[in-house]
Amino acid sequence: MRAVIQRVKHGRVTIEGAVTADIQLGLVILLGIGPEDTAEKLLAAAKKIALMRIFEDDQRKMNRSIIDVGGSAIVVSQFTLYADTRKGNRPSFIGAAPPDLARPLVDQFVQFLQDQGVPTQTGVFGADMLVDISNDGPVTIILQDD
């Protein structure tokens, strides 16, 4: 599992001109699933992200979680996080889980995040999406379990 977590002031996913996800303060999570990933790994990641202290407190220190600030999340499945660029100029994505394995795990991750108390919206698995991210800080965290 690989996740790029971005603290945002605003995030939006648009597909063919239609907005499918739209949040204000919160996180946009780009999520890549690997072939060895399990529901247990994704549950641990959801718990970590929900409690990750990357929002500022009154002293401007990153001391608050998304739950503490009442934020929301958008999860976007992104197999390209498994790009292998070691050979040639065209990335290989053979390290990413196939769609029939990845789709249910992405759905489980979203549910796990919601179960932690984080209102969560999504893109559409496999769709060509336009993802608008107003990165706040900028704060970008890479969470990797592989």
| pLDDT one-digit tens code per residue, 23-63 | 999 999 999 999 999 999 999 999 999 999 999 999 999 99
Name the pLDDT band for 138 (thresholds 50, 70, 90). very high
CA dihedral 13, 118, 5, 89 (to 10 degrees): -50
Q: d(Cα 93, Cα 6) in Å, to the nearest integer? A: 23
Mean pLDDT of 130-141: 97
2-133 CATH pick, 3.40.630.10, 3.40.1050.10, 3.50.80.10, 1.10.287.3510:
3.50.80.10
Q: d(Cα 121, Cα 29) in Å, to the nearest integer? A: 10
Q: d(Cα 137, Cα 19) in Å, to the nearest integer? A: 25
Q: d(Cα 142, Cα 144) in Å, to the nearest integer? A: 6
Name the pLDDT band for 124 (thresholds 50, 70, 90). very high
Per the annotation, the verdict on 78 as an active-site residue is yes
Residue 144 has pLDDT above 70, yes or no: yes
Exactly one of 79, 109, 120, 121 is catalytic; which is it? 79
Asked whether 10 and 24 are in contact (CB, 8 A), the reply is yes
Domain edges within the chain: 2-133
Per the annotation, the verdict on 121 as an active-site residue is no
Name the pLDDT band for 146 (thresholds 50, 70, 90). low
Exactly one of 6, 55, 78, 116 is catalytic; which is it? 78
Exactly one of 38, 80, 93, 144 is catalytic; which is it? 80
Closest CA to 13 of 91, 76, 103: 76
